[in-house]
Amino acid sequence: MPDTSKAATLYAPSRRVVLGLALALAAPALIGRHALADGLVDPFTLGVASGDPAPDGFVIWTRLAPQPLAEDGGGGLSADAPVTFEVAEDPGFRTVVRRGRARASAALGHSVHVEVAGLKPGRPYWYRFAAMGAQSAVGTARTAPAAGAAVDHLRFAFASCSHWELGWFSAYRHMAAENPDLVLFLGDYIYEYSYKSERDAARLVRRHDRREEIIDLAGYRNRYALYRTDPDLQALHACAPCLVTWDDHEVQNDYANRWSQDVATPEAAFLKRRRAAYQAFYEHMPVRRWSRPTPEETRVYGRFGYGALADFTVLDGRQYRSIQPCARPDSRKGWVAPASCTDRVEPARTMLGARQEAWLYDGFGRAKAQWNIIAQDLLVADIKQRDRDGALGHWTDGWDGYPANRKRMLDALAQSKARNPVFLGGDIHSFWTTDLKADFNNPGSATIATEFVGAAVTQDGPPANAFTSVMQDNPHVKFYNGVTNGYVSVDLTPRRMDTRLVAISDRRDKAATASTLKAYVVEDGRPGAVEA
Ligand code: FE
Ligand code: CA
């Protein structure tokens, strides 16, 4: 369910949007996007998207960008532009239930976020936009079931870590083909850096238009725009609403809160860069007004309900965290810190920040759904790995850099009696199935929650043997695979959660196939995945 403190803004139509003015609108001539008359340009090069589904509506999104990679980041437009939208109960738009006007403002990169409300729960709708004499592609979105309603089945899929240059987005194409009700993007949706060396160039399938690391608003806007020109990603966004959080590469590798990974970058300079990145994120994602950047924060964490069946809690693991422990003098990049790094286990350290932690634990205490899905960016389980000297240590940039917060989170879950908690994550470019334990040093301790982490859409896996050589030190890991790309697909019913780890045959093959690498069942009332 939506966070109640935000309910007023969640359900209020955006002030920029005038709803229900069908008769007053002089509708522009609607021209199919592939049949533009002479002299007209297609402003819908980035497709359409929907997100944040509620029982009575969702966000529909587009961005006008006749020249998506225009150097100034403006998409080929300068002035604000009017846009109209329609939401219908059928794909042919015979029964249009909402119709209105929005403004694509230059200040927000000519993006349009319409919070559609007043719809019926638990059913599909079709939507489209028109502007500049052209019409967008048609998108489909499903409203969430009514709060507390019985739900037989929900299908969702999640993905992370899609570097444009390293491969085709076949994972996204196969996700769309599964016809999910909901899609989760768990971070590294874009990458801020490009590959430059000769050695790397030989293995790339395509190039970023900008090779320098992006650091300003025009750069981040163009990076999202480039990724959104991909037909597989457009198809995925058009087929289902999404929930989205970010990881580091939406801003910069391994950043934490206001700290760049580069020790020489002052906090003020990094915060300026982060603000530009967060703004471009907002402009390109189908998120609600409460995610609009303010000088204080850009809020992406939230709660979304699917009737009595499931609650999704989406977390932000980057914006509010403590600085990584035991940073080396020359770089704040994550590394495997040895046991002598006592900073790591400091109780005051937080991954989520005090406010998000309090909000999360309060939500656990009030959880009523059958399944409590926590969607976030990182592997949660404690993983002992070998440092350069061969000693066992922990990676400082993930949850292993913040074990006190992890313990508070799992303790809060255990005490809350929230049913069937399942964590989903990304970032580590590999598939993981783990048991999240009350005490990771005691294999006999209770399993508090189940965890699934998805492989990267295109990114490289971890170095060979980085984890396979330490599996005996991590008995709560049930499965690990770091040599394939892919995504995770879930079928949820009141009795069980069926999870498939889906492998993509070859990221370099535009027509790559998908196959189930492993399948797991989580049964209602029994934490921990069992191989199907
Ligand atoms: Fe990544
Ligand atoms: Ca990452």
User: Which residues are within 8 A (CB) of 488 and not within 5 positions of it... i.e. 6 or more apart?
Assistant: 157, 158, 159, 424, 431, 452, 454, 499, 500, 501, 502
pLDDT of residue 39: 65
* Ligand 1 center to 457 CA (angstroms): 9
Q: What is the pLDDT of residues 423-459, one digit of tens each?
A: 999 999 999 999 999 999 999 999 999 999 999 999 9
Q: Write down the pLDDT at residue 32.
A: 40
How far is 312 from 239, CA to CA, in rounded Å?
Answer: 20
How far, CA to CA in Å, does 134 sit from each of 31, 35, 220, 346, 448?
5, 9, 26, 57, 52
Region 334-361: mean pLDDT is 97
- The model's pLDDT over 76-94, given as tens digits with 9 standing for 90+, comes to 999 999 999 999 999 999 9
Give the model's pLDDT for residue 36: 53
CA of 165 to the centre of ligand 1 (A): 13
**Nearest ligand by distance to the CA of 462:** 1
5 has a pLDDT exceeding 60: no
**Do the Cβ atoms of 467 and 430 come closer than 8 Å?**
yes
Q: Which residues surround ligand 1, an ion (CB under 5 A)?
A: 161, 188
CB 521 within 8 A of CB 501: no
CA–CA separation, 352 and 257 (whole Å)? 10
Distance (Å, whole) CA 50 – CA 127? 9
**What percent of the chain shows pLDDT beyond 70?**
93
Q: How far is the CA of 237 from the centre of ligand 1 (A)?
A: 20
Please give the distance, rounded to the nearest whole angstrom, from the Cα atom of residue 460 to the centre of ligand 1: 9
- The predicted pLDDT at position 37 comes to 53
Nearest to 95 by CA among 84, 103, 87: 87
Task: Using the mean position of ligand 2's atoms as its centre, give its distance from the Cα of residue 150 in Å.
Answer: 36
Give residue-wise pLDDT tens across range 228-281.
Answer: 999 999 999 999 999 999 999 999 999 999 999 999 999 999 999 999 999 999
Ligand 2 centroid to 116 CA: how many Å? 32
Between 357 and 2, the higher pLDDT residue = 357
| Chain segment 55-69, per-residue pLDDT in tens | 999 999 999 999 999
Flag whether pLDDT at 299 surpasses 60: yes
Nearest-angstrom CA–CA distance, 421 and 449: 5
Distant-in-sequence, close-in-space partners of 254: CB < 8 Å, separation ≥ 6: 248, 261, 324, 332, 333, 334, 397
Instruction: Measure 247 CA to ligand 1 centroid, in angstroms.
Output: 8
Q: Which pLDDT score, from 0 to 100, does residue 30 have? A: 41
Task: Kindly give the distance from the C-alpha atom of residue 187 to the centroid of ligand 2, in angstroms, as a whole number.
Answer: 7
pLDDT digits (tens, 9 = 90+) for 197-230: 888 988 999 999 999 999 999 999 999 999 999 9
pLDDT in tens, 492-513: 999 999 999 999 999 999 999 9
Cα of 428 from ligand 2 centre, angstroms: 7
Q: Which residues contact 415 (CB under 8 A, 6 or more apart)?
A: none
Cα 377 to ligand 2 centre (Å) = 8
pLDDT digits (tens, 9 = 90+) for 14-45: 333 333 333 233 334 344 444 455 567 899 99
Q: 379 CA to middle of ligand 2, Å?
A: 10
For ion ligand 2, residues whose CB falls within 5 Å: 188, 247-248, 427
pTM for this predicted structure: 0.93
For residues 127 and 110, what is the distance between their CA atoms, to the nearest angstrom?
18
Mean pLDDT over all residues of the chain?
Answer: 93
Neighbouring C-beta atoms of residue 421, cutoff 10 Å = 23
